[in-house]
Amino acid sequence: MSEKYKIRDQDKIYFVTFSVVQWIDVFTRPDYKNILIENLKFCQKNKGLEIYGWCLMSNHMHIIVGKEGQEKIQDIIRDFKKFTTVKMIKAIKENHQESRKEWLLWMFRKLAEKSNKHQKYCFWQNEYHPIELSDAKMMQQKLDYT
């Protein structure tokens, strides 16, 4: 990850965006949305993720986060993205009503082939560009946007 986008101060609150590769519209089905929501709840309960606001769109998610406890924010985000990738691919494979199943899996496979980071499937874009919310004005601006 670029130095520009590293989380340096673990005690701060950050606005981050997770985007699906190629901006593919995936979160149009409730089952797929629920995978994300359940993983967010897990990270809150078990990893110390603090969520101040979030919004899920069809191909990306905005979230305002902090943390309590020992885990670093970037480690929580890494685990969140890795876990949701595995669950999303499995859900797509098992969804008999998914009309785009073959195309989605092909796209995620092809994009993984171009990546030195992913082995089988690439679901999320690598970067998430954390923006430190250093004051109440910035926090309110991002909450309004979200």
Give per-residue pLDDT as tens, 51-96: 999 999 999 999 999 999 899 999 999 999 999 999 999 999 999 9
Backbone angles phi, psi at 117, to 5 degrees: -100, -30
| Residue 125 neighbours by CB under 8 Å, 6+ apart | 18, 19, 20, 21
The answer to whether the pTM exceeds 0.75 is yes
Domain 11-83+123-145 CATH (choose: 3.30.70.1290, 3.30.1360.70, 3.40.720.10, 3.40.50.2000): 3.30.70.1290
The confidence score (pLDDT) of residue 5 equals 59
